[in-house]
Structure 1
């Protein structure tokens, strides 16, 4: 019987979420606040992985929830809300990243960005994959996170980032190569 209880609990959570979404669509700020509290961790984590910088991730997360308030009416319920929000977050975070000063320079001068993005925690003996991901050059980091962590196909990544599919694959290969190299040095 525990399996049935879990199914009922999942259905109740799903129904509760749908009610929150509908209320927020109708302008209910408390319902929107509950959605914010439920999803801020997921949104911030994705933004941090894409940006590689805590301050930028915080700013991008704020932008996601500002845009979410405006775009919530676009959610039709065809997929889970978390899946839809994940897609919205990815698109907004990448757009936000493009708007940052020096984005083109960082985009094409990838060697320089390696040193800028690395923040080491010398007290940690364990291999911390997130710190290595943050250390990746920006293009490689974005492609790696979208493909390996979030499960996007290279065709989708190419569309989101305005790069060729081959460039997405090359950046993913570069990211894997750098990660192997760095992790092997530890």
Structure 2
């Protein structure tokens, strides 16, 4: 059964169809939320909250956009609501490396922590745009739909966010040297 059929059955109240649809998206949604809130436990809770909202509102999904886009919008809005309630929390990314030396792992974690710390200093609109584009790999049109913005605004936010992030990182003593040292190796 394809996704459209599963969605139709889920909208009619078929729990098994809803679960089948959700299973295919749960890792993506968790990763988006995790990158926004920066905490595994909060991301798990917010992922569950997102899917509860989807379940409660699935009948409102009209198919005017892709289901994935609708789902991402709910996840991003749920995350932003949470972040508004919890300002000032530092984000950390988990270690994604399997075959690196302890020094490489430490350098990578420090680099991610610094980048995420600086990313957290950006306005939420900029932060969300960068996460959805550069980390999640969504298209400009998908981001526009998720954020209820036009494509020009999305492109502008991403450009400004990248520039601001780059400028902030330049101000950190020794940070750029990390990249220069790696290029020489």
Written as runs of structure 1 = structure 2, the 5 A alignment for 1:142-157 is 142-146=128-132, 148-149=134-135, 150=138
1:152 and 1:93, CA in 2 relative to 1: closer, same or farther beyond 3 A?
farther
2:109 is the counterpart of 1:125: no
Q: Higher helix fraction: Structure 1 or Structure 2?
A: 1
Query: Which residue matches 1:174?
Result: 164
Aligned residue pair count = 157
Once superposed, what is the RMSD of the aligned Cα atoms? Answer: 3.7
TM-score using structure 1 length? 0.63
Partners of 1:138 and 1:47 in 2: CA distance: 14
Kindly provide the CA deviation profile for residues 38-92 of structure 1, in whole angstroms up to 9, marking residues without a partner as x: 1101100110111122111111111100100111112111222112211221112
Give TM-score scaled by structure 2 length. 0.64
Structure 1 unpaired stretches of 5+ = 1-14, 107-112
Unaligned runs of 5+ in 2: 96-100, 180-185
- 2:117 alignment partner, one of 135, 148, 162: 135
Q: Deviations over 1:106-147 (max 9, x none)?
A: 2xxxxxx5xx43468583727578655533353424453245
* SS of 2:24 mapped into structure 1: helix
Relative distance call for 1:77 and 1:159 in structure 2 (3 A) is: closer
